[in-house]
Amino acid sequence: MMNIPKGTKDVLPNDSYKWQYVEGVARDIAKRFQLKEIRTPTFEHTELFLRGVGDTTDIVTKEMYTFKDKGDRSITLKPEGTAGAVRSFIENGLANGVLPAKLYYITPAFRYERPQAGRLREFHQFGVEIFGAKGAQTDAETIMLADSLLKALGLNVKLFINSIGCKQCRAAYNKALKDFFAPHLNELCYDCKNRFEKNPLRLLDCKEETCKKINASAPSIIDYLCEDCNAHFTELRAYLDLAGIQYEIDPRIVRGLDYYTRSVFEFVSTSIGAQGTVCAGGRYDGLIEELGGNPMPAVGFAAGIERLLIVMEQTGVKIPDPAVPTVYLAGMDAECRQKAFEVATKLRLAGIIAEIDHMDRSVKAQFKYADKLGAKFVAVIGGNELSEGVMNVKSMATGESEKVAFANAVEYFFNK
């Protein structure tokens, strides 16, 4: 028997409606905020991610699916959605068009990680990118979009925000961090020893217990923000207040990616049994230039669709199955089945969800099957009904039956 590769998952027919639901809500909310979808390839030149994700990040150093294609090019399956969107934005001249560009994507992404609940090697992301606007209002709008999405999905979340400043104020902060961590260098994990030289900011989001303990008393970036960054952060908070969005400032949020500037944020599920980050993002004013475009501000976020679905399931959010038949037409014999087929055809053409027997089941077995499908009505067609030109329609909710003429079928089931 052939098996699925480790860290991947099939979405089976009885679950796919949940994916469609989450994606549908995401598309609706994106539309409400005037975002348009961008679709970029599943693989890109490896160079894009080395520059766009940052070559000190775990994603690039440990987790990318990189291979040589038959033309000897180094290719990488996208480990996240932003770099490809930025590449396309520049390459297609959108950067010279009307700004801001407000984009969203729903994409598979690939990371070679140790698989665990909610963390797969192939996973899916809903992501948002707004290019060309530098004001804190745009950061607030991005956060509000994420907030609207999570609330529409029925999740209880808490928002944490921080500012990691710009190049200028980060230089001073990096120095302060180095001064702080230097005496502890021997106690830090292997990765953090490397980060100490290359990107001390990333020492703050290490998950190792010993590092976390030391981090707790590290200096806060907020105290090192330059005047402009400080004003931007103050403005962001004012806009969040205007939007009625509650937040907490968490100076430990620095994000794993190098290209972030100023605002960073995370939404954390607060439901019992389903804690953890469900959505994260921020501003990355340095990225477009890094990838060869003219300097241009950018802000965005991404949310893992698998993670959203797990949290929704754990917190008991019920997703309606849109494919439940309005009516199941059960035919007694061959002639009646033919009539069932004919009526079902009319109903389907009118936009009504109808199902019939395909397995030569008895009427009793058809009833059982209809129940399993969750059909709202079962319409039985027997010899008597056939000669009277009617079907016997039973409501599965109330158990009540009534005769409905074949000619009135569409009218009867419309809006049921």
CA 44, chain centre distance (Å): 21
Q: Are 66 and 46 in contact (CB under 8 A)?
A: yes
What residue spans of 244-295 are helical by DSSP H? Answer: 287-290
Of positions 63, 122, 208, 290, contacts Zn ion by CB under 5 A = 208
**Closer CB to Zn ion, 230 or 401, in the complex:** 230
Of positions 48, 140, 155, 192, contacts Zn ion by CB under 5 A = 192
What residue spans of 113-184 are helical by DSSP H? Answer: 136-152, 167-181
- When asked if residue 378 is in the footprint of Zn ion (CB under 5 A), the reply is no
**Closer CB to Zn ion, 226 or 268, in the complex:** 226
**Closer CB to Zn ion, 77 or 211, in the complex:** 211
Of the listed pieces 114-122, 210-218, 282-290, 369-377, which binds Zn ion according to CB under 5 A? 210-218
Measured from the CB of residue 55, what is the shortest distance to Zn ion in angstroms? 18
Residue 136-175 contact track with Zn ion, rule CB under 5 A, x = bound: -----------------------------xx-xx------
Q: Are 178 and 195 in contact (CB under 8 A)?
A: no
**Closer CB to Zn ion, 192 or 393, in the complex:** 192
Size, binding site for Zn ion by CB under 5 A: 11
Residue 132: closest CA among 237, 351, 303, 287: 287
Of the listed pieces 34-42, 91-99, 223-231, 387-395, which binds Zn ion according to CB under 5 A? 223-231
- When asked if residue 189 is in the footprint of Zn ion (CB under 5 A), the reply is yes
Measured from the CB of residue 166, what is the shortest distance to Zn ion in angstroms? 3
Measured from the CB of residue 168, what is the shortest distance to Zn ion in angstroms? 5
Which residue matches tokens 């100490």? 196
- When asked if residue 211 is in the footprint of Zn ion (CB under 5 A), the reply is yes
CA–CA dist 263, 385 (Å, integer) = 69
What is the DSSP-derived secondary structure letter of residue 63?
I
Of positions 29, 136, 143, 229, contacts Zn ion by CB under 5 A = 229
Measured from the CB of residue 314, what is the shortest distance to Zn ion in angstroms? 29
**Closer CB to Zn ion, 159 or 225, in the complex:** 225
Of the listed pieces 49-57, 147-155, 222-230, 380-388, which binds Zn ion according to CB under 5 A? 222-230
Of positions 99, 152, 172, 206, contacts Zn ion by CB under 5 A = 206
**Closer CB to Zn ion, 165 or 331, in the complex:** 165
Q: Are 309 and 22 in contact (CB under 8 A)?
A: yes
Q: Are 248 and 194 in contact (CB under 8 A)?
A: no
CA–CA dist 191, 193 (Å, integer) = 5
**Closer CB to Zn ion, 208 or 342, in the complex:** 208
**Closer CB to Zn ion, 168 or 408, in the complex:** 168
Of positions 11, 172, 226, 363, contacts Zn ion by CB under 5 A = 226
Residue 292: closest CA among 91, 59, 55, 75: 91
CA–CA dist 410, 416 (Å, integer) = 10
Measured from the CB of residue 235, what is the shortest distance to Zn ion in angstroms? 14
Of the listed pieces 92-100, 220-228, 326-334, 370-378, which binds Zn ion according to CB under 5 A? 220-228
Q: Which residues of 195-230 are buried (b: 16+ CB within 10 A; e: fewer)?
A: bbeebbbbbbebeeeebeebbeebeebbebbbeebb
Measured from the CB of residue 131, what is the shortest distance to Zn ion in angstroms? 20
- When asked if residue 286 is in the footprint of Zn ion (CB under 5 A), the reply is no
- How far apart are the two ends of the chain, measured CA to CA in Å? 44
Of the listed pieces 10-18, 43-51, 76-84, 219-227, which binds Zn ion according to CB under 5 A? 219-227
CA–CA dist 201, 197 (Å, integer) = 10
Measured from the CB of residue 206, what is the shortest distance to Zn ion in angstroms? 3
CA 71, chain centre distance (Å): 34
Please confirm whether the linkage preceding 41 is cis (ω < 30° from 0).
Answer: no
CA–CA dist 405, 400 (Å, integer) = 17
Q: Which residues contact 268 (CB under 8 A, 6 or more apart)?
A: 157, 158, 160, 275, 276, 277, 278
Of the listed pieces 37-45, 154-162, 189-197, 348-356, which binds Zn ion according to CB under 5 A? 189-197
Q: Are 120 and 9 in contact (CB under 8 A)?
A: yes
Query: Which residues are at the interface with Zn ion (CB under 5 A)?
Result: 165-166, 168-169, 189, 192, 206, 208, 211, 226, 229
